[in-house]
Structure formats: structure tokens, C-alpha cells
Structure 1
Amino acid sequence: MCFAKVHSAAIKDLRARMHQAVDRYCDEMENEESGCGQVMSGLAELEDDCKESYLDTMEAHYQEHHPELTPLLEKERDGLRCRGNRSPVPDVEDPATEEPGESFCDKSGAPGDKEELTPQKCSEPHSSKW
């Protein structure tokens, strides 16, 4: 399967970092008379904090268990950051809009693992608990 099993200590750390991000957001909203702009910027910051926490957790896991994939992961991380800063609706006229390339799962699979790492399996919802 495409999803890596992450050790419970890493998940506990991820959970703590996400809870801290949510607590910071809630504290900011309680302490201010929040207008729409402040709420939206606070939500964007919360989303960024959660993404960074998740990416840090996955990067640590891959560095420990699959160091040969670390350069690919850094490239994917940069791509995710760029996607997070773009409008959710791509502009058809924008030359920067490009077709999606090979996924991280496609790049990282060993030749024998190709059957297991098909794009369909990577996009299926993950049902097991960490």
C-alpha cells in the first residue's frame, strides 16, 4: 500500500503539534474582536501549521526508514507548499498551470512494488488506524 505506517511516538508528536496550533488559533479568536479578515488569516495560518506538522512527521519517518527517498520527499514538500499558496481554482490562461506529473508514490516504488503503488491505490482513502 502507498501509505507508510508511522510509529506511535511520531503520531503523538504530530497530534500534540496540531493541538497546539488549534489552541493558538482559538486563543487568537477569543482575545480579539475578530473580523472576517482576521478569521480568514487565522484559518490560513492554522492550515499551514497543520500541513507543516504533517510534512515534518512524514519527512522524519522517511529519513529514518527510507533515506534514499528523502530528495524526492523534499521536492514533493516544495510542491505542496506551492499548491497551498495558489488559488484552489487553476487559471486556464496561466502558463504556470501545468498538468500533474508522476506522483511521489510512482517515483518512490521499487520495480517489484509497481503493482502495489498504482495511482488508484494511492488515491484510495486510508482506513486503518495509526
Structure 2
Amino acid sequence: MRDPSDNAAAAAKAPHGIADVARSAGVSSRTLRHYDAIGLLPATAVGDGGLRRYDDRALVRLQRILLLRGTGLGLSEIGRRLDTEPDDASALAAHVVGLERERDRLARQLAAVRTTIARIEHGERLAVVDVLDGFAPVP
């Protein structure tokens, strides 16, 4: 039988409870338990009552999972990526570049829509380049 102090020590090293992690990530506790079951995001520790707990490294892994999931990848491909790109900082830096590119594209779309609204309200002609800026995929 395991010593209860082992659970307490492991839980202390994993300060983030499943409910807080799930809420902050915008996923359910069930999703986190599923990620654990398939080996995608193992819990760092299991505390009293079987509650999963996570350390900072697990939070980084979850962040990477969420970023990759946002690109439309399936869980098995996400797992492969995480296993082949073990350097978290480099992988996250690549995500930053992509997120900044997406932010800039959305800013151009927002400006285009505002320009369209203003021209419609003022009865002005529309220019294709102004109306559709930011809508074409970036190569």
C-alpha cells in the first residue's frame, strides 16, 4: 500500500488542480481526464480522492495542445508533434510567429470592414483592394 505522505508530496509539487486548469483552459475536466487516459497530458500527481494535479510543465504542454488543436490537428497528430518537438520554448516561439501573423490578418480584415461601413454610409464607391484586404490566405 502506498504511503499517504507520497501522495501529499507529489500533490505539493503539482499545485494546479484539475478544476482550475480546466476552467482556465476553457475545456472540461472530462477532456483533461481523456488527455490523461490517452497519454497526451498525463497528470503530474493524483491527490486525495483521485483528483488530478498538474505542475508548470504540464501547463506548458496543455498550452501547446490547445494551440495545435486550434490549427485543426487531431489528437494523435498533436501527440506526435509534442513528441518530436520537445523544446517547448522553440515550439512556442513558432506559435507566436503564427499568432502574430493571424493577429495582423484580423486587423486588416477589421480595418477593411470599417472602411466598407464608412463608404456605404457616405455613399462612396468601394475599392476591391480596400474591401477585401486581409481575406486572402497568407502564403
TM-score above 0.5: no
Structure 1 length-normalised TM: 0.28
Q: Per residue, is there more strand in 1 or in 2?
A: 2
- Structure of higher RCO (CA pairs closer than 8 Å, 6+ residues apart): 1
